[in-house]
A and B are shown apart, each in its own frame.
Chain A
C-alpha cells in the first residue's frame, strides 16, 4: 500500500490527531491524521481511496482491539477524533459537488440513551461515503425524527441504542414513524440489537457495524 495511506491509517488507529497533539506520547512531533490526509489529497489520491484504504481500516483495527478488551474507551474516542480531523479534508469534495451527494441520512441515539460513540462513528463513516448527515444527537424523542422526515421526505432514518432499557424506546419511535410513514426506510443498530429485534419492531434493516450501514444505504439508492 501507499506509504502515506499506511501512515494515515496508523495515525487514526493510534489517535494521533495532528502534529501538535501530545497524544499518544510515542508519536510526539510526528504528523497526525490532519496533516497526513491533506498530504494524501495533495498527492492526488482520491477521497474514496483515502477513506476505504486508510481511515476505515484504521478505525476498524482500534474497534477490534476494543471489542477484544485490549483497548478502552479513551483510545476509541481519541481515534474517532483523529478520524474526524482527516474527514474534515474529505468533506469539501462532497459539498462542492465534485462528487454528488447520495442522499440525506438522519441519525440519532434514541430517547433515554446517552451513548454516542458508536452513533458518531456510524455518522462519520456515512458522511465520509458521500451522504449528507443530519445528526440529531442523543436522547432523541420520536417527534424529532418525525420533524426530520417532514423536512427531508427522502431521507433514511438511523436509530442507535446501547441499552436494553432503551431498546423499548426504539420500538416506540419506529411505531410512531410507521403510523405516519408506513414505508419509510429505517436503519437500526447498537450493541444489544439483533436481526430478530429489528424485524419484531418493524424497522427496515439492522446493521451491527458502520460498514453494513453504508452498504444498506448504497443499496437503498441503487
Chain B
C-alpha cells in the first residue's frame, strides 16, 4: 500500500464485549430505551446545552438519531435499529430493547458464541413459523370490512407516544382522522397493480388538536389571495376545471446554463422576447379554456395579471414536493417548456375553493377522484407537533403495511409473553435430531432457550414503569399488570381485570405467576392456547410486519455483536 505513514498504530481490542466500557454503555442505552417504552413511558429531553432546539420525545427514531455513539459496537446496534425504523416506522423501541437484552442474556451464559448463535437461530425459526401459522395464538386477522381493527391499530400507536401530549378525546379524534385519510388514499377501482395515493400533512402549530381535520385534495398556501373576493374560475362544458401544471419557471428568466457563449446584438432584449413568449402561452391557455394554472416555480407578474383578467386562476411557488401528487390527482402532465404546449398535458379538477386556517389562506384543489388528501395537523407547541407528526406518519405507514398483510399482533406485552411460553413449551419437547442439527447438547439448548425467553419477557416487563408486579397466565400466556402498592402474595385474580392487550378478562382461573427477572422458576409449560374470542373492541394491537421484522433484526443484530471478536480502530 502506498499510503501516507500512519501517525498512530491502530487500536486492537479483542473480545470487545467482555470489556467493562462496552457493557456499561450497553446497559445505559438499554436503560434509556426501556424507560421510554409504552404508553406510560418517560419522556426524554434532548438539548445541546448551549440553547437552541429542545426535543422532548419518547420515540426511538428521534432518540437514536440524536444520541452520540460512544463505542463502535453500540453504533452497529443503533444503526440497525434506525434502519429498521426507516423501513417500518414502528417497533423501533421493541427491536432495540430486545436486542440489548438478548446480548446481555446470551453474554452471561458462558457458552461459545457460535453455539449460541446457532441455537437462537433455531429458536427464531420456531417463532417465525409459529407467527406465520394459522394456529398462532397471538395474532388477529384484520377485517377490512369494518374499521374497528384499523382504529385499534392507530389508537395503540398514538397512545404509545406520550410526548404527543394527547388526552383521550384527542386520541380518538386523531385516530378517526388518520384512518379516514388512509381510506381516502386507497383507490376506489381495484386494478391488478394499484398504487396507494398520498396523504399530505399540513402543519398548523399553536392550535388545539381537535381542530385538526382531513380534506380530500390538496392545499396550496397562497398568502396573497383575498378571502373576501368570490372566486371566478372558468369551467369547461362538463363543469370541471381544466388545469395546466408547469414545472418550468414562468418568470421570463429561463435561460439554460449551457456551456459555450451566446452573443446578443445591441438593442435586442432576450428578456422582452421571453416575456412575449410567456404572454403567448397565456393566450393559448385562455384559448384552451384552462381555468387554473399551477406553477412549481415563479410566474411573471404580468402573466399573472393577464391570466387574472381572463378569469384564469394562477397559483405559483407550489414546490417540488407537491408536483407528483398534483400530477397524480389531476391527471395532468407537468409541462417543461413554454415553447410548445400540447393540449394532452392538461388535467381536470372538480372544484377549487379557498380555505382559511388560523391566519393562513390556502387554495383547496378538489379532485374528481380522492386519491390524494391533506391532513391539517394541529398541536399546541412545536415539539409536541413534531412528535405528533412522526406518530401520524408511523400510523399511516402501519396501515399501509397492514393492507399488504392483513394481520396484527396483540400488543401490551402479550405477544412477547405468549411467544416466550410457546418457546418454553417447544424447547422442552424437542427431538434429539434438533440438537444434532445445531451441534450442541440439550443442556446448552435449554440455557439458550431460557435466555431467549427471558429477553422477550424483559421487553414486556419494560412496559411497566411503576412498582407494580407483572404477571403472566399459564393458559394463554398473556401479560397482566398489577397496579402498584400491593404485596406480591395477593390473590392475583382480585387485582387484575384485563390482560395487556385487552383480549382476556379474568373470568376464569388462569393460574397467574410472576413474570420475574433473572430468577424465573422452572415451570412446566403447556402450549399456550388461543383466546376464545378474537374480536373485541379497544384491543391494543401492533403492526404484524414491523414486529416480525423487528424480532428477526433484533436477533440478527445481537448475533452480529456477539460474534465480534476484534475491534480494530484506526486512530488517525
- B partners with A: no
Question: Chain B residues in contact with chain A, CB under 8 A?
Answer: none
Question: Chain A residues in contact with chain B, CB under 8 A?
Answer: none
